[in-house]
Amino acid sequence: QVQLVESGGGSVQAGGSLRLSCAVSGYTYGSNYMAWFRQAPGKEREGVASIVRDTGATYYADSVKGRFTISRDNAKNTVYLQMNSLKPEDTAMYYCATGSRGPWYGPLSLQTYNYWGQGTQVTVTS
């Protein structure tokens, strides 16, 4: 019933920009939090950015603060991640997620989310 489909990944040089999109379909059963996570080879999946659906409040990992911006277009049921000043360490598979347990676990916790996309690859070369 619920699908999240990421797009916009690719390969860019350090200092470049990419804009990721996540199209959400189906009823998300009241999920109020949306987020982007990433996972690099050999590393754990980490929360990158999150946005609260009804208030628009945003949260960022320290490593991307000031460079990445999360936003949501409610009319299009789409969440975006604008990534600027990309660094090689940003290379990872990026996943979109939505969930409802933010008040308990926080906006960047894996435990908050129960719906996930398949991911889109971002590669940043030096």
Q: What is the pLDDT of residues 3-44, one digit of tens each?
A: 999 999 999 999 999 999 999 998 777 789 999 999 999 999
Q: Give the C-alpha separation, 58 to 49, whole Å.
A: 7
At residue 74, the pLDDT reads 82
pLDDT, tens only, 60-115 = 999 999 999 999 998 888 999 999 999 999 999 999 999 999 999 999 999 999 99
Contacts of 2 (CB under 8 A, 6+ apart): 24, 25, 26, 27, 28, 29, 98, 115
Note the pLDDT of residue 28. 75
